Each structure stands twice: as C-alpha cells, then as structure tokens.
C-alpha cells in the first residue's frame, strides 16, 4: 500500500495579500487616461466593498464593464437605442 504524505502548497503557506482596491491606488484617478473626481472614487470604493462581500470581481475594469452593460440595457429597454440582434 503506498504511503500518502500531506504537503502544504507554497500558496497556502504564504498566501499573497489581496489586491488593493482601486480607490486605494495612488494613480487610480488617472487610470485609462481619465481623471475621476474624489466623489466618483468614493462611489467606486463603496461598490468594491459590496462586490467583495458578494465574491465578485472588484477591479475597476469589471465595475466599468458592468456599468456599461447596465446602461446599454437601460437604453435598449427605454427605446433610446436599438439592441443588437442575437
């Protein structure tokens, strides 16, 4: 019968720290070549806190993508623009 040996992965022994929230990054207002106001950065921080609790991605790009999809769907539903045929 083979002998089983329990070994810890290096990742569990020394886990990486969680990524910093976008609102905590010193260059956050300048990301993507745009400047975001302190008010918008505060909103992003609150969204990130909520998404972290829900186990959703907290990156600025994921928040922007979701916001764009929501706005697009809103505009289609209200007849402002025509949606793409699927």
Can you give the length of the chain in residues?
86
pTM of the model: 0.57
Rounded Cα distance between 31 and 35, Å, is: 7
Q: Using the predicted structure, report yes or no on whether residue 6 has a pLDDT greater than 90.
A: no
* Rg, Å, the chain Cα set: 20
Q: What is the average per-residue pLDDT within 57-75?
A: 92
**34-60 confidence digits (pLDDT tens):** 778 889 999 999 999 999 999 999 988
How much is the mean pLDDT over the chain? 78
The domain locations on the chain are 18-77
Rounded Cα distance between 30 and 52, Å, is: 23
């Amino acid at each position: 019968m083979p002998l089983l040996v329990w070994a810890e992965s290096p990742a569990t022994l020394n886990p990486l720290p969680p990524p910093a929230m976008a609102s905590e990054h010193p260059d956050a207002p300048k990301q993507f070549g745009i400047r975001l106001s302190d008010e918008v950065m505060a909103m992003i921080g609150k969204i990130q806190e909520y998404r972290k609790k829900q186990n959703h991605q907290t990156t600025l790009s994921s928040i922007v993508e979701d916001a764009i999809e929501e706005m697009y769907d809103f505009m289609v539903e209200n007849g402002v623009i025509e949606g793409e045929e699927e």
